Amino acid sequence: MVLEIFVGLFVEQMLSAGLGQGRGALTKRREANALVDETMARVREELPEGPDANSIIDALSRQLRAPAADLPHLPAQPLEALRLQLEPLLVQPFTDGRDTGAQILDRLGLDLDRLVAMTHSALLASARQLVLEQGGLPEFVRQGFEQWVRDQLAEIRRHLVAGNGASGAVDTLVGPPELMVGRQEELARLEQLSVQPEGTGGSSVVLTLHGMGGVGKTTLASAFAARISERFPDGRLWVDFHGFTPGEEPRSTDDVLAGLLRQVGHPPDVQTRNLAEKSELWRAWLADRAVLLVLDNALSEHRVEPLLPGASSRSLVLVTSRKRLDGLGTRRSVDVDTFSTAAAISLLRRYLPDHGEHPSDEPLTEISELCGHLPLALCAVGPLLDTVQPADLIDRMHRAAYPLQDLDDAERPVRAAFEVSYQHLGHRQQQSMRLCGAHPGPDFDAASLAALWGIQRSDAAVRIAELRKYSLLVTVDHVGRRFAVHDLFLPYVRELAAV
Ligand SMILES: Nc1ncnc2c1ncn2[C@@H]1O[C@H](COP(=O)(O)OP(=O)(O)OP(=O)(O)O)[C@@H](O)[C@H]1O
Ligand SMILES: [Mg+2]
């Protein structure tokens, strides 16, 4: 019953967005057309037989299929949106070329209002039927529906928080991800680690998320922040440090602090204070408050430290970085690894077209492997499955010099993710990276690198540790301390090694 009410409301939303265009709900024209056909059948039942009914149905059906983008704006009310969409019917040329829509409607004993009302209830009934009678929600509706439910819940939560007297609290969190697969274990671990220490004294918590570029740190952080946000009524703040963003300079702590202080109500001239003063003001504001602060994409401990709360705060800080921020001294840290095969397959399945036979897990497992289970690569390769058969994609990826070669939409972001990390390494670490690329693989330990490089084993071990700190090596065997360059990064490392 609750589902039915939600679905009813959701369908209303789709209608108000012009058959879902613009809200990404009815993204697939095929389903949208099926909805229109079903609706037309219902409207036709209401009309007397005859040529007038046929021409109005034809015109109505054409008009409903017209892109909603043609409308000057999309009103919030479904009926009003529909009225706007159908208004041109009154003047547009009809099949017989003589009568206007208004005249035909008149002969049928209808006017535009009546036609809008009939169409609206027919659309609603058809969409409900489509949603509820297909043995569950069809994929195209489900995605839009889930997002819509999340939006509604976030809205309700905001009202509740406001009702608790916390209205006016700053909230700059980015919303939870539209699409998220897997990560149940990581979310559970974060939940555990986020519990604030009991007792007297300080209770603020600093949590860190580490992992290689494109592995899903930001996605996980936004999902987790949305989950726990109501525990922080005094403010929920999201900062992107752009530490490793291709094409962006990392933001300075000073700049970030000035922005945060202004957001929480300090006057603009706070910018003129020096870094230490800003940091003090910030800590003073956080003291005794419960604030959720997400510091995404941080470059180093050094840039984050001045933003951390003092002992008396009840705040939680979640920091994400490609670099392990061991220097922050927090033991509450989660490594974000590449996807499990199950999560990767589940992601790829989202991209398969609805029509035709659905492939077994086998080819999807192979594509996941070719993408190194890296979310960034899977999200970029996945859309190809809409038109390319999995077997053809596999063949193409196998025949290339490396799997992503010339798959531009995938290669560009993955290459950029590697290159930015590489650029942030010191001279010696860059050299180590290139030397790792020269190892014949598939994996190595300190001893084999030492032999290859002609250095002491202990030196090789330290160099490995430095690269791991920047998430540039994958751990193949924790106990045996064996590592590798991620498959997708290897071609780029080898390119550098060859220079
Ligand atoms: N759990 C997930 N489910 C679905 N898609 C995901 C998931 N995790 C990541 N992605 C997708 O993978 C891509 C990379 O993810 P994200 O930006 O979170 O990585 P990141 O680790 O923050 O990368 P960077 O180090 O560059 O900041 C995004 O397109 C994101 O939507
Ligand atoms: Mg990120």
What is 136-186 written as a DSSP string? Answer: S--HHHHHHHHHHHHHHHHHHHHHHHIIIIITT-EE-PPPPPSS--S-HHH
Proximal ligand: closest to the CA of 471 = 1
Q: Which residue's alpha carbon is nearest to atom 31 within ligand 1?
A: 219
Proximal ligand: closest to the CA of 212 = 1
Contact 129, 24 (CB under 8 A): no
Please state, in angstroms and rounded to a whole number, the distance separating the CA atoms of residues 471 and 474.
Answer: 7
Contact 234, 289 (CB under 8 A): yes
Per the document, the length of the chain is: 499
Proximal ligand: closest to the CA of 420 = 1
> Can you give the pLDDT at residue 361?
93
What are the structure tokens assigned to 172, written together?
């700059």
> How remote is the CA of residue 234 from the centroid of ligand 1, in Å?
28
Give 403: exposed, middle or buried? Use CB within 10 Å, 0-12, 13-18, 19+. Answer: buried
Q: What is the CA radius of gyration of the chain?
A: 28
Proximal ligand: closest to the CA of 248 = 1
Please state, in angstroms and rounded to a whole number, the distance separating the CA atoms of residues 233 and 231.
Answer: 6
> Can you give the pLDDT at residue 475?
93
Q: Which residue's alpha carbon is nearest to atom 8 within ligand 1?
A: 216
> Can you give the pLDDT at residue 93?
63
> How remote is the CA of residue 415 from the centroid of ligand 2, in Å?
15
- In ligand 1, which atom is closest to the CA atom of 183? 1
- In ligand 1, which atom is closest to the CA atom of 375? 12
Helix, strand or coil, per DSSP, at residue 17: coil
Minimal CA–CA distance to 417: which of 347, 340, 486, 333? 486
25: left (phi over 0), alpha (psi -120 to 50) or beta: alpha
Bond from prior residue into 440 cis (ω within 30 degrees of 0): no
Give 401: exposed, middle or buried? Use CB within 10 Å, 0-12, 13-18, 19+. Answer: exposed
> How remote is the CA of residue 474 from the centroid of ligand 1, in Å?
17
pLDDT truncated to tens, each residue of the chain (499 aa)? 345 555 566 666 666 555 544 334 444 566 667 778 888 888 888 888 888 888 888 888 887 777 654 554 555 566 777 777 787 777 766 656 677 788 888 888 888 888 888 888 888 788 777 766 665 556 656 666 666 666 666 656 555 544 444 446 899 999 899 899 999 999 999 999 998 766 545 588 999 999 999 999 999 999 999 999 999 999 999 999 999 999 889 999 999 999 999 998 888 888 899 999 999 999 999 998 999 999 999 999 999 999 999 878 899 999 999 999 988 888 899 999 999 999 999 999 999 988 878 889 999 999 999 999 999 999 999 999 999 999 999 999 999 999 999 898 999 999 999 999 999 999 999 999 999 998 988 899 999 999 999 999 999 999 999 999 999 999 999 888 999 999 999 999 999 877 5
**Ligand 1 pocket test target in 337, 376, 472 with most atoms within 8 Å of CB:** 376
Please state, in angstroms and rounded to a whole number, the distance separating the CA atoms of residues 316 and 293.
Answer: 6
Please state, in angstroms and rounded to a whole number, the distance separating the CA atoms of residues 469 and 475.
Answer: 12
- In ligand 1, which atom is closest to the CA atom of 212? 25
> Can you give the pLDDT at residue 95?
58
**Ligand 1 pocket test target in 319, 379, 381, 409 with most atoms within 8 Å of CB:** 379
Strand partners for 317: 206, 293
> How remote is the CA of residue 451 from the centroid of ligand 2, in Å?
36
Q: Which CA distances in Å does 397 have to 21, 386, 427, 443, 470?
A: 34, 16, 33, 22, 28
Kindly list the protein residues whose Cβ atom lies closer than 6 A to any atom of ligand 1: 179-183, 211, 213-219, 244, 297, 322, 347, 375-376, 379, 417
What is the identity of the amino acid at 43? V
What are the structure tokens assigned to 498, written together?
């060859």
Map out the domains of the chain with their CATH numbers. Answer: 2-147 (no CATH), 170-183+201-335 (3.40.50.300), 341-408 (no CATH), 424-498 (1.10.10.10)
Minimal CA–CA distance to 124: which of 164, 191, 79? 79
> Can you give the pLDDT at residue 459?
95
Q: Which residue's alpha carbon is nearest to atom 4 within ligand 1?
A: 180
